[in-house]
Amino acid sequence: MERPYVIIVSEVSVDGKLTLYRGASSKELMSLMDEEAYKYLHEIRAKVDGIMVGCETVRTDNPSLTVRYAKGKNPVRIIPCSTANVPLDSNVLNVQEAPTIIATTERAPKERIEKIKEKGAEVIIAGDELVDFDILLPQIFKRGIKSLMVEGGASINWEFVRRRIVDEIRLIHLPVIVGGENVPTLVGGEGFKKLKNLLHLRLRSHFIRGKQLITEWEVINKS
């Protein structure tokens, strides 16, 4: 499959949590990050062609996904939303700031698709039930998105991990424990369950940026 180079980037607590509780915006946990961590994140944004977060992250965090703490151009925002249920006042639909693609499926009501297009975003239909990355990734690759940063959440990260369509994982470690069984962690979904199926990583580098530990991992058994 022709696809972009995929880098999952996330801030995580020491126990791997993405946020304070299920349904909470990760912005609260991210407020623990210092400016150097934001710079690290935004320097990556400035280098990639596209950036993706799941529709649930758009609904709970309302991120802009633009470059503000570094120099460089904004990546194209790609949001998988199987029924195109993205609030029309979302920051990602402010296309004056950066272009946006809403990836959706045959299930999306036509009127919703029209309203999104009226906001100036592009809509790609990829799949019947959930957004199918085997269809979406070659399409965005053709549109010039050769590198893609995936900023979560847990469900979207699992989609990339389970299909092994991830080349690197970069983590900003927050020196806190959040706890809680149902709190989203870096990767959600069903899990691999069997030792032979696990995704294997090699530590490429680790360093301190500001007060955060950063680790950068290469995926060994990618597809």
Ligand X SMILES: NC(=O)c1ccc[n+]([C@@H]2O[C@H](COP(=O)([O-])OP(=O)(O)OC[C@H]3O[C@@H](n4cnc5c(N)ncnc54)[C@H](OP(=O)(O)O)[C@@H]3O)[C@@H](O)[C@H]2O)c1
Residue ranges binding ligand X (CB under 6 A): 10-11, 18-19, 24-26, 53-57, 60-61, 80-83, 85, 130-131, 151-156, 159, 184, 188
What are the structure tokens assigned to 126, written together?
């990829």
Least Cβ distance, residue 137 to ligand X (angstroms) = 11
Tell me whether residue 28 or residue 196 sits nearer to ligand X (CB atom). Answer: 28
What are the structure tokens assigned to 84, written together?
């195109």
Q: What angle do CA 152, 158, 160 make, to 5 degrees?
A: 85
Tell me whether residue 57 or residue 141 sits nearer to ligand X (CB atom). Answer: 57
Tell me whether residue 129 or residue 220 sits nearer to ligand X (CB atom). Answer: 129
143 contacts: CB under 8 Å, gap ≥ 6:
76, 101
Tell me whether residue 105 or residue 196 sits nearer to ligand X (CB atom). Answer: 105
Tell me whether residue 26 or residue 66 sits nearer to ligand X (CB atom). Answer: 26
Least Cβ distance, residue 62 to ligand X (angstroms) = 10
The label of the residue with tokens 């900023």 reads 151
Least Cβ distance, residue 133 to ligand X (angstroms) = 6
Tell me whether residue 96 or residue 192 sits nearer to ligand X (CB atom). Answer: 192
Candidates 132, 124, 197; CA nearest to 161 is 197
Candidates 142, 178, 148; CA nearest to 44 is 148
Q: Rounded to the nearest 5°, which phi and psi values hold at 47?
A: -95, -20
111 contacts: CB under 8 Å, gap ≥ 6:
none
What are the structure tokens assigned to 87, written together?
């609030």
Residues 59 and 137: their CA atoms lie apart, in Å, by 23
Query: Are 204 and 217 a contacting pair, CB within 8 Å?
Result: yes
Least Cβ distance, residue 52 to ligand X (angstroms) = 9
Q: Rounded to the nearest 5°, which phi and psi values hold at 180?
A: 100, 120
Least Cβ distance, residue 200 to ligand X (angstroms) = 22
Least Cβ distance, residue 147 to ligand X (angstroms) = 18
